[in-house]
Amino acid sequence: MSDASGAPQRVRVTADPDWYAPAGIALGIRVGDLVFTSGQGPIDEHGTTVGKGDFEAQARQALANLALVLKNAGSGLDQVVKATVFVTDIARDQEAFARLRAEYFVPHTFAESFVEVSSLADPDWLIEIEAVAVAG
């Protein structure tokens, strides 16, 4: 996939419904064989926060969203090469996410940043995950 100049084409990754469309944000962008996702939060397909106050429920929803975006781009969690995980309480959430990482990312050999932030896009969110993956 390239444009007339030979540069890789940028293709917007969507879902039906696209939970980020109302905000004017792409769920992800595929450029050649790489997929760059927007941060995936703990929201359902209608944009409603899932699992308020429950880190594991929120992490599972964010991971499910990430998996769907990658699938729609022709990739998957097993093709992730870099993930950035944002949490609001690293001391509370690090162990739980380590278990989920081992469950969702097989193989789980990729670069990762695990970062505590003071808040996320929605004050009820406890986690947000973005990734870069290979597609093809």
List per-residue pLDDT tens for the chain, 136 residues long: 556 667 788 999 999 999 899 889 999 999 999 999 999 999 998 889 999 999 999 999 999 999 999 999 999 999 999 999 999 999 999 999 999 999 999 877 899 999 999 999 999 999 999 999 999 7
Q: 58-97 as b/e, with b when 16 or more CB fall inside 10 Å?
A: bbbbbbebbbbbbebbbbbbebbeebbbbbbeeeebeeeb
What pTM was estimated for this model as a whole?
A: 0.93
How confident is the model at residue 106, as a pLDDT? 86
Closest CA to 97 of 55, 42, 38: 55
Tokens of residue 33, six digits: 């064989």
What is the spatial distance between Cα 38 and Cα 35, in angstroms, rounded to a whole number?
A: 10
Q: Where are the beta strands (DSSP E) in 45-104?
A: 80-87
List beta partners, residue 8: 2
List beta partners, residue 121: none
What is the spatial distance between Cα 16 and Cα 128, in angstroms, rounded to a whole number?
A: 20
Under 8 Å between Cβ of 9 and 3:
yes
